[in-house]
Amino acid sequence: MQLRIPYTAPLPPATILPATASTITGAVAALADFLRSPSAGHGKTVILSGAGISVASGLADYRGSNGTYTLNKTYRPVYYHEFCANHEARKRYWARSFLGWTTLHQSRPNKAHYAVGQLGELGMLSKVITQNVDSFHLMAHPKLKTLELHGYLRNTVCLSCRTEYSRERFQKDLADLNPAWAVFLAEMLETGALSTEEPAERRRRGLKTNPDGDVDVPGVDPPEGTKVEQDSDGAWLPSSTAGILKPAVIMFGESIPNAVKLAVEDAVDEADRILVLGSSLATYSAWRLIKRAQEQGKPVGVANLGGVRGEEQFFSKVPVNGFGRDGVRCSVPLEEVMPALVDRLRLGSVPLISNEAFRPAPWGR
């Protein structure tokens, strides 16, 4: 299965289920009822997390109000086939990555990540599946199993021998080999140009971008004593004395390893229910897992700011005046609701939710 280009059609606004889940208090009560439903087996809820859970850590999401796709309409990622086949595409990728690495490297897990680990300690969860490549789940809860659906940025991998190499170390190598890049990065950090995803603001602070969203940085030089030979299309030739390092993430157009695919499917199949945290399910690789759970008759919960792809399909049979055990849809900040949810569950009581301020879902009318 390949990682497909994200779903780009406008997403509908979130319809809250139950209606009382429109506030932090109501969302906490509904999520607690969802996790502690009598039908839920011990430790049998699986989490699927997306970029939204890491926004409070200082990382941009994709479709939020300050997301990459929202602020930069011309943004275009480097595709797997481009990266493998063209040396210029690889230079383009690593130039962009060199600038962006500092923000990720200095960021840390936030309260929502740690709350997920605490839910695991309470026996509520079986596993975590994450679309994110920031490794925050592994940092926040190493004892709760995390399956990284789209890989991870902490390492690079050689396309020839598959040996992994530390991304932190590679950042130092890039700076040593390309001192002009290091100077440029220092200048951009000083002006704050890398603290925003908005192209006009970046240009105002000195960061020039091309129409497709690429960053203009000084040229790259190969290491002394090595050679990367290319064919007429820029593809790597076996006569080269250096291999190609790729980030250990699944790029758009790249196949998800079969072992990963089977592992996440097993995690869904073994769970009694699935809870989505901070994902619009715009990528098919994530959306299909929720679809799989629904087809097995498993309750679905979603906590995400903004719309979710196909949510009317996932919640069409959820009672609009229910209490949360049959399904939850809330749109609240995860760094607020998740710690509060842990506190509620530690108290050991989940009060019933009234249908005050009831607002029916459009598909339930």
Q: Please identify every residue annotated as catalytic.
A: 150
CB-CB contact of 246 with 87 (8 Å): no
Cβ atoms of 5 and 252 within 8 Å: the answer is yes
CB-CB contact of 265 with 288 (8 Å)? no
Residue 9 CA to residue 113 CA, distance in Å, equals: 29
β-strand 273-277 against 300-303: which pairing, if any? parallel
* Among 156, 149, 107, 157, residue whose Cα is nearest residue 132: 149
Tokens matching residue 111: 């309260």
Task: Provide the greatest CA pair distance for the chain.
Answer: 72
Q: Cα torsion at 216, 222, 227, 231 (round to 10°)? A: 0
* Helix (H) / strand (E) containing 290: helix 284-295
Q: What Cα–Cα distance (Å) separates residue 100 from each residue in 171, 201, 218?
A: 11, 16, 15
Cβ neighbours, 10 Å, residue 8: 9
Question: What contacts 24+ positions apart, CB below 8 Å, involve 157-164?
Answer: 157/245, 157/246, 157/247, 157/248, 158/243, 158/244, 158/245, 158/246, 159/84, 159/236, 159/243, 159/244, 159/245, 159/246, 160/243, 160/244, 161/243, 164/248
Amino acid at 272: D
